[in-house]
Amino acid sequence: MDSDNNCTLYPAQGYQIFRNVLSHSWLQSTRDAAESVIQHYRENGPFGRENDVSLGELAQSRPQRNPGVDGSKWINEPFIIGDLLTQDGHFVSLLAEQALWSIAARLLATEIGQVIFHYSNLTRKPAGIGPSIVWHRDAENTYFCPNNDRLLRLLIPLQGMSRENGGTAVVPGSHLDTKIDKTTLDEHTVIHPELAAGDVLAIHSQLLHGGAPNRSHRERDVLIMQFGVAGATFRHQEVLELGALHPRGTFMQLLK
């Protein structure tokens, strides 16, 4: 149902899976870069940067998101690490890759030269202690959101992701009905796409999505990149991460 690299499902479903976008070697080097950033966070603790979220601090401030987890033990465990391009040059190389921009251009219905990068982060649900992610639409985000709602998030799991390890859950078609109440969702309308490491899950800005805590023995690290279209004005632009608002050409130049 969901594997369709021609994007024909996206208009009706509001999400699309692209299989094997990261090759084995890209996947391995991305995992290595993610591991080094995670390790740095563990050794140095929360950096106090607005774009990072500690798993322990989240568990303390919103215990309902992570039942049974004692936040005080996990202050140095990252839940979200943002501004990835400043953290490791590998993420700059990855962002220069055409495949990600081609997907963004097709789903945003524009030319690849009109696509711009907004921001990226690593969103983690570590084995056994990963928190839930509440139901939301990305167009509601107050971090980085254009007035025209033309944004697209690409989620790239670095390990296989499914319902079992707190994989991203979606409500197909909910992008077409923004009146659906996210507080009273019928669970029969929810699906949990199964992704292999290196697949890409593209999410429409109005699609309802979220996910349960990870209480499995499997890690779940997801690289997230948000793209938009050049020329938009913004209703929220909390932080300009390195590379924000730039097209692919900038990242290719940085590699020279």
Q: How far is CA 129 from CA 59, 157, 166, in A?
A: 10, 17, 10
Among 33, 133, 151, 225, binds ligand AKG (CB under 6 A): 133
* Residue 8 CB neighbours (<10 A): 10
Among 90, 106, 118, 153, binds ligand AKG (CB under 6 A): 153
Among 13, 51, 66, 168, binds ligand AKG (CB under 6 A): 168
Q: Tell me which amino acid residue 46 is.
A: P
In the sheet where 209-211 sits, what is the strand order? Answer: 133-136, 209-211, 169-170
Q: Residue 144 in 3-state DSSP?
A: strand
Between 180 and 224, name the residue whose CB sits nearer to ligand AKG: 224
Among 211, 213, 228, 243, binds ligand AKG (CB under 6 A): 211
Residues that bind ligand AKG (rule: CB under 6 A) add up to a total of 9
Between 80 and 112, name the residue whose CB sits nearer to ligand AKG: 80
Under the binding rule (CB under 6 A), the answer on residue 224 touching ligand AKG is yes
Among 2, 138, 199, 241, binds ligand AKG (CB under 6 A): 138
Under the binding rule (CB under 6 A), the answer on residue 30 touching ligand AKG is no
Among 116, 151, 222, 244, binds ligand AKG (CB under 6 A): 222
Nearest-approach distance from CB 124 to ligand AKG, in angstroms:
8
* Residue 182 CB neighbours (<10 A): 15
CA dist 106 and 148 (Å) reads 17
Between 126 and 211, name the residue whose CB sits nearer to ligand AKG: 211
Joined tokens for residue 190: 């929810």
CA dist 151 and 170 (Å) reads 17
Under the binding rule (CB under 6 A), the answer on residue 33 touching ligand AKG is no
Under the binding rule (CB under 6 A), the answer on residue 209 touching ligand AKG is yes
Under the binding rule (CB under 6 A), the answer on residue 123 touching ligand AKG is yes
Which among 16, 15, 17 is positioned nearest to 176, based on CA atoms?
15
Within 8 A by CB and 6+ apart from 255, the residues are 92, 93, 96
**Residue whose C-beta lies closest to ligand AKG:** 168
Q: Catalog residues that contact ligand AKG under the rule CB under 6 A.
A: 123, 133, 138, 153, 168, 209, 211, 222, 224
